[in-house]
Amino acid sequence: MGSGLSYALAIAKKDLVTQMRKRFEAFSMFLFAIIAVFVLGLVLSSATFIVPDPETRLIVMTEIGAGMLWVVVFFTGMFGFSPVFISESETGTLKGLSLAPIPAWSVYLGKVIYGFILMGLVELFLVPISMGLLGFTFAADVSPIFILATFCLGTLDLAAVGAMASALTMPAESKATVYPIVYFPTATTALILLVEITRMLAIGIPLVGPGIVDLLIILSGHVFAMVTLSATVFHFTLTS
């Protein structure tokens, strides 16, 4: 007998091992992200004509680029998170998970951990490439702890929402069409906060308005709300 968390880790490990065997999902996510960054970078390069002054252009590129990074992560998440339950449902292994003598929330948590690690791996490569192509860097006076906390909380939030959206998509008629309409509204709240925080990390702390710590606290609250709400009601998606 193990704890709910150890079951969750076992499920995450099972998914990661399966992913390592297949490889194509993580690689496809990464490729999609790179293509998206490339296209956005291409569009942003037109700022050279729109904003001729190099100093102003740098500020504009920093502000837009930092926000665009999360837009790319957000859409990449649609590829990465959507199969977490849908594939289990299609291959018939979901029945096994729902009948396993483990709490339903540990199944959900396992999928969140898997999504977090998968997206984290993609971000490890995506962030430096985005910084190069979208033309932004983090401000020198910002503590790396804030940067790390933002990416950890943001990825966890999107993984929590993405896993639940995948579970909700299982009974839908056209899964590929329905997944975005479940994922988008629940993840956009986090996206707004993440764009705002990352913009602050790139341009430095603003003198007016909320600080990074305030927004990180709100983001933590959102992560907590999404994980606890979803974990609490998750068993209803396994029992119908």
Partner 1 sequence: MNTKRMVLYILSLIVSFVYLYMVWIFAPPELNLGERIRIFFQHVAPALIGYLAFGVTLVAGVMYLWKQDLRYDLIGAASIKIGLVFTTITLLSGMIWANASWGVYWNWDPRETTTLILWIAYACLIAYRASVNDRDVRAQYGSVFGIIAFPAVILSYISIRIWETLHPIVITGEGLQMGPEHGMTLMVSLIAVGLVYLLILDLTYRIDSVAERLMELRMQRSG
Contacts with partner 1 by CB under 8 A lie at 161, 164, 168, 171-174, 177-178, 181-182, 184-186, 188-189, 192, 196, 208-210, 214-215, 218, 222, 225-226, 229-230, 233, 236-237, 240
Residues 102/4, Cβ–Cβ less than 8 Å: yes
Rounded to the nearest whole angstrom, what is the least distance from the CB of residue 95 to partner 1 in the complex? 15
Q: CA dist 119 to 1, 17, 33, 137, Å?
A: 30, 15, 11, 21
Rounded to the nearest whole angstrom, what is the least distance from the CB of residue 218 to partner 1 in the complex? 6
| For partner 1, the closer CB: 124 or 181 | 181
- Give the residue among 82, 71, 75, 72 at the shortest CA–CA distance from 162: 82
3-state secondary structure of 199: helix
| For partner 1, the closer CB: 128 or 221 | 221
Residues 33/126, Cβ–Cβ less than 8 Å: yes
| For partner 1, the closer CB: 122 or 227 | 227
Rounded to the nearest whole angstrom, what is the least distance from the CB of residue 97 to partner 1 in the complex? 17
Residues 85/163, Cβ–Cβ less than 8 Å: yes
Cα 132 from Cα 65, distance rounded (Å): 10
| For partner 1, the closer CB: 96 or 185 | 185
Angle of CA points 196, 202, 207, to nearest 5°? 70
Rounded to the nearest whole angstrom, what is the least distance from the CB of residue 19 to partner 1 in the complex? 25
| For partner 1, the closer CB: 37 or 215 | 215
Rounded to the nearest whole angstrom, what is the least distance from the CB of residue 38 to partner 1 in the complex? 26
Angle of CA points 217, 131, 179, to nearest 5°? 60
| For partner 1, the closer CB: 38 or 184 | 184
Per-residue exposure over 47-59, b if at least 16 CB sit within 10 Å of its own CB, e if not: beeeeeeeeebee
Rounded to the nearest whole angstrom, what is the least distance from the CB of residue 120 to partner 1 in the complex? 23
Task: Report which secondary-structure segment, H or E, holds 79.
Answer: helix 54-81
